[in-house]
Chain A
Amino acid sequence: MHPSPLVELIDREQAPLLARRFYGDGAASPITASLAQVPELLEVALPFVGVALGPVSLGARAKEVAILRTSALLECRYCVRSHTVVALDVGLSLEEVGALRGERPVDTVFTDERERAMIAWIDAVALGRGPVDPDVQAGASAVLDDHELVELTMAVTATLMLNRYCTALDLPTSPETEARLAAAGIT
């Protein structure tokens, strides 16, 4: 059952002047359509999110690992469902997606040392309070250059922001996302 959004999702006809360019040709995402309530926020937030969650130097696979894992830890229905689709699109397997979603143990599915260190880092940043465990810091530093660690950390923290935003406002996933999940047999 889809939740109803707490705020009005602004349609194309009502899109504020400075928000129009974010609407593209298809339907605007619920994040765009809600942020359009405050166009000056949309103007900075969307480009920021686009870069923070985009491939940059780590690549789409690593970024989707970070986004999907963080979203699952934060129990953000919207982001988990939306990024399950994106993760499959960038080549993650159903097993990998299931592990990131907490449906099976990560260690049995992800065997690459670099990815395991990254996931440990993601888990620590997303769920932790206070300083990150020095062993986890050391593990991440050992496999990631400084710029990669910055990029990964920002991907996690930007996802945290979106997780709480989407969950608090009860944003509904798009029909396209639901159709893709159904086609992949994912509930």
Chain B
Amino acid sequence: MDSMSALADAVSAGTVNGRLWFYSNYHCNLQCSYCLTESGPLVKRREFGRDAILARAAEAQELGFTGFGMTGGEPFIRDDMPQLVAELGSELPTIVLSNGTLLNERRLRELEPLADLPVHVQISLDRPDPVENDDMRGPENFRKVMEAIPKLVERGIGVRIATTLPDPDAVDPEERERLCELHRAMGIPDEDHVVRPIVNRGRAVTNAMGVLAGFEQLEPELTLTAEGAFYSPFGPTVRGGRLDTDLLVSRTTRPLSEPATALLRLAEQMPEGDDARIGIR
């Protein structure tokens, strides 16, 4: 297939998302109660090697992808992550999802080159109050995040805030406003604050939380892990220690054209209309 034009056409037509996601690793210093990947300090790491990520990223540009995303686990648990994100950001706009609690002075220094690049660090902050926030995400989470965000901002690094809630529509408007005042006070504009529902996968299933997200609800957004290519970044989740396969596209990740072609085939099977998608970001 002429993968380049087919993928680029699908991206410009809006049938697939132009961002290519990487799951860098599955371990994390936290153990949030709604974690999609059941991450924690001792879980199987499933690390995706730096060279493999960069090789797929190079192919992605040739195929017509328009951006990169990095997620986990906690990406910044890896020492090579600042440099890796900078290399990706030198090629295409990049977003890295982080819990924001491992950004010590050394990491912050290593992240400084990101200020000159189209890179955003998306940090999780769920509630405007420490007790409620830390209830789901662990002790001291609120304080660490509130310290880290201004340090990124003052270095000129792009920051987005992600708020994940059981039911975003049911949130108290006064609480929502206090959260927004917090991020605005730290220099994060409203357009860089995303509020999304907990997705009922991974630990959220065990804890009976979140909205269902399957093939019909999700946008096609190619996502690579060390164990295969998935339909969406909400695909390679973990339950009971095993990787979910219901949104597995292929075990083949190279050449990238193979899973990209398979994703296009799947995208053609999507029901018509955006209303089928819950637009989780």
Question: Which A residues fall within an 8 A CB radius of B?
Answer: 8, 10, 13-18, 36-41
A8 contacts across to B, CB distance below 8 A: 242
The CA-CA distance from A18 to B251 in the complex, in Å, is 12
B244 at the A/B interface (Cβ < 8 Å)?
Answer: yes
User: In the complex, how many angstroms separate the beta carbon of B253 from the nearest chain A beta carbon?
Assistant: 11
| Residues 107 to 154 of chain B near chain A (Cβ within 8 Å) | none
The CA-CA distance from A17 to B249 in the complex, in Å, is 6
| Residues 80 to 132 of chain B near chain A (Cβ within 8 Å) | none
List 28 A-B pairs, Cβ < 8 Å: A8-B242, A10-B245, A13-B246, A14-B246, A15-B245, A16-B245, A16-B246, A16-B248, A16-B249, A17-B215, A17-B231, A17-B246, A17-B247, A17-B248, A17-B249, A18-B249, A18-B250, A18-B262, A18-B265, A18-B266, A36-B245, A39-B248, A39-B249, A39-B250, A40-B250, A40-B251, A40-B252, A40-B262
User: In the complex, how many angstroms separate the beta carbon of B260 from the nearest chain A beta carbon?
Assistant: 13
Extra contacts, 10 of them, besides A10-B245, A18-B262, A40-B258 (Cβ < 8 A), are: A8-B242, A13-B246, A16-B246, A17-B231, A17-B248, A17-B249, A18-B249, A38-B250, A40-B250, A40-B262
- Which chain A residue lies CB-closest to B239? A14
A13 contacts across to B, CB distance below 8 A: 246
B244 contacts across to A, CB distance below 8 A: 14
Interface core residue of B215, B242, B246, B266 (most chain A CB under 10 Å): B246
B265 contacts across to A, CB distance below 8 A: 18
The CA-CA distance from A37 to B246 in the complex, in Å, is 10
B242 contacts across to A, CB distance below 8 A: 8
A18 contacts across to B, CB distance below 8 A: 249-250, 262, 265-266
User: In the complex, how many angstroms separate the beta carbon of A21 from the nearest chain B beta carbon?
Assistant: 10
User: In the complex, how many angstroms separate the beta carbon of A185 from the nearest chain B beta carbon?
Assistant: 40
- Which chain B residue lies CB-closest to A38? B251
Top 5 A-B pairs, shortest CB-CB distance: A16-B248, A40-B250, A38-B251, A14-B245, A14-B246
The CA-CA distance from A8 to B245 in the complex, in Å, is 11
The CA-CA distance from A18 to B266 in the complex, in Å, is 8
B246 contacts across to A, CB distance below 8 A: 13-17
User: In the complex, how many angstroms separate the beta carbon of B146 from the nearest chain A beta carbon?
Assistant: 39
The CA-CA distance from A38 to B229 in the complex, in Å, is 11
The CA-CA distance from A18 to B228 in the complex, in Å, is 13
User: In the complex, how many angstroms separate the beta carbon of B192 from the nearest chain A beta carbon?
Assistant: 32
Mask of B202-237 contacts with A, CB within 8 angstroms, 1/0: 000000000000010000000000000001000000
- Which chain B residue lies CB-closest to A8? B242
- Which chain A residue lies CB-closest to B248? A16
Interface core residue of A15, A37, A40, A41 (most chain B CB under 10 Å): A40
- Which chain B residue lies CB-closest to A10? B245
A37 contacts across to B, CB distance below 8 A: 245, 251
The CA-CA distance from A16 to B248 in the complex, in Å, is 5
| Residues 230 to 281 of chain B near chain A (Cβ within 8 Å) | 231, 242, 244-252, 258, 262, 265-266
B262 contacts across to A, CB distance below 8 A: 18, 40
A14 contacts across to B, CB distance below 8 A: 244-246
- Which chain B residue lies CB-closest to A41? B251
The CA-CA distance from A38 to B262 in the complex, in Å, is 13
The CA-CA distance from A40 to B249 in the complex, in Å, is 8
Q: Are A39 and B251 in contact (CB under 8 A)?
A: yes
User: In the complex, how many angstroms separate the beta carbon of A124 from the nearest chain B beta carbon?
Assistant: 36
The CA-CA distance from A17 to B245 in the complex, in Å, is 8
The CA-CA distance from A21 to B187 in the complex, in Å, is 50
The CA-CA distance from A38 to B247 in the complex, in Å, is 12
B251 contacts across to A, CB distance below 8 A: 37-41
- Which chain A residue lies CB-closest to B244? A14
The CA-CA distance from A18 to B252 in the complex, in Å, is 13
User: In the complex, how many angstroms separate the beta carbon of B26 from the nearest chain A beta carbon?
Assistant: 18
B250 contacts across to A, CB distance below 8 A: 18, 38-40
The CA-CA distance from A30 to B168 in the complex, in Å, is 42
